[in-house]
Amino acid sequence: MIGVCKIEIGNIEPYLSSFDVTLIPDTITYGENSIIIIRALDQYGNVYNPSEELKVNLTVNNPDYGQFMLPDGILCDSLNHIDYQLVLNGSIKYISNGEYPHEPQRIVVTVSKSDDVSKRGDGKVVVKPSLDHFAVTIVPDTIAHTDTATIMVQAKDKYNRDITIPGSTLLDFSLDAIGEKYGSLLSPDSLQAKTLVGIGYGDAKVGKVRYIADGVNPIGCVPQEVVITISKSDDASKRGSDSVFVKCKIDYVRFAQGDPRWGDDDYDTYIDTVINSDTTYYKIRRKGCALTCMAMVLKAAGVDTDPYRLNRWMVENDGFWGPAVIWRSVNNYPNNDKVEYIGRFGRGLPDTVTLSFSEINPYLRKCYFIIAQVKNPDTQNNHWIILAGKENREYSIVDPGEHRTTLVAYENKVYRVIIYKKKNGCINHN
């Protein structure tokens, strides 16, 4: 026979078993504090309300990174025999005021019953390096007029190490006076302004803010340095800056000397042949490369003209010397308040001495208008072109004859240059 035993257990009174410890917030940066919230728990995991006066101890796993702060501001490395009710209402805080964390540190706060440390509980807070400044990188670091550059921002600590801050952190972007003159800022949604306020760090970090050089074209100037500053919206001391250089840009309209609109017009009164008192003159398509280059310079500077009109005016106003153009004659061209002749250098063909590009580059850098003499590879005669720019080691050209686009077509050799400058091109700048 099998018997069944029944044991009745009476109600067991709740007793203190452990502590639930929470730190709010659970992630702080160096110098900030976190509120310690403690709840006593019974053996069933329920909130325990002690009938007796309960005293607790508070310790941390690593006291090097911070201390406990009492309601009256007193700081302690550890706390012993603290009234439970004081901790219960969140009056005690953990403040990260110790050693600077070079990387995020996990701090464990342990609360235990003063007379029985087996009754305990742990809470955690992560202490991160604090924001000290922003590193700003602008790519590319040099742009031409009308081009854009991307601005990227990275939060840094005081040791210049990358740190993580919330993407919702708001930043302000501003330009110096030079930056305002030569361009504008573009927000992530393409809003254009001289100052941007309240841009999210998440957007700024990945380069969604740009600078566009849509202001004054710095023709006649060396590249102009624009300083862009980024600061934390609620704390301007957290800031950073970088520079982008805006260089001038000339947009040439190519005129071809053989264009039917003027190619068959007489070039000055330069005689080609005389047969039985019948005089034939050279045409612009054959001899008008220098004239056409002069027209391109005037047009690029903002003067309304073309080779046909310029040729007619020069014929009537002594703009030629025999078969050669008088380079400075454009200074007196009607409505030309834009550009002026400033000089020439180089021996010129048929002398075979070529110019050094170290002499030419400073003028290109400032967007002076340069007409260059080269040797036609087909005829070996002299020819005039526009020397338009330099990118890395390659020189771009605008050719009124053949539609050649780089100086390589002329073996990178220049024998003489004619220099024009935009009037009032760079007031109060280099």
The 10s digit of each residue's pLDDT in 54-88 is: 999 999 999 999 999 999 999 999 999 999 988 88
Contact 79, 92 (CB under 8 A): yes
Task: State whether residue 192 is helix, strand or coil.
Answer: strand
Residue 383 in tokens: 């020819």
- Looking at residue 378, its pLDDT comes to 86
Positive or negative, the Cα torsion across 81, 84, 88, 89?
negative
Name residues whose C-beta falls within 8 Å of residue 318's C-beta, 6 or more positions apart in sequence: 326, 329
Name residues whose C-beta falls within 8 Å of residue 64's C-beta, 6 or more positions apart in sequence: 98, 99
Whole-angstrom distance, CA of residue 287 vs CA of residue 324: 9
- Looking at residue 430, its pLDDT comes to 47
H-type alpha helices, 244-369: 284-287, 289-301, 307-316, 357-365
The pTM of the full predicted model, rounded to 2 decimals, is 0.76
105: β partners = 127
Residue 261's Cβ-side half-sphere holds a number of Cα atoms within 13 Å equal to: 10
Domains in the chain with CATH codes: 16-128 (2.60.40.1080), 133-247 (2.60.40.1930), 266-422 (3.90.70.10)
Whole-angstrom distance, CA of residue 52 vs CA of residue 31: 37
- Looking at residue 392, its pLDDT comes to 84
Cα Rg for the chain, rounded, in angstroms?
A: 40
- Looking at residue 429, its pLDDT comes to 45
Which of the residues in the chain have pLDDT under 50?
428-430
Whole-angstrom distance, CA of residue 252 vs CA of residue 363: 16
Name residues whose C-beta falls within 8 Å of residue 162's C-beta, 6 or more positions apart in sequence: 154, 155, 156
Whole-angstrom distance, CA of residue 258 vs CA of residue 101: 74
Tokens 């005129």 appear where?
255
Count the neighbouring beta carbons within 10 Å of the beta carbon of residue 165: 18
Whole-angstrom distance, CA of residue 168 vs CA of residue 232: 11
Residue 409 in tokens: 């077509």
- Looking at residue 275, its pLDDT comes to 59
Nearest by Cα to 90 from 23, 179, 17: 23
> First vs last Cα of the chain: how many Å apart?
114
Residue 269 φ/ψ, nearest 5 degrees:
-125, 40
Burial class (CB in 10 A: 0-12, 13-18, 19+), 120: middle
**How do beta strands 116-128 and 27-29 pair?**
parallel
Helices 307-316 and 289-301, interaxial angle, to 10°? 110
Nearest by Cα to 121 from 185, 180, 39, 210: 39
Whole-angstrom distance, CA of residue 47 vs CA of residue 23: 17
**CA angle, 222 then 224 then 230, to 5°:** 160
Nearest by Cα to 309 from 255, 253, 262: 262
- Looking at residue 428, its pLDDT comes to 47
Contact 94, 32 (CB under 8 A): no
Contact 398, 254 (CB under 8 A): yes
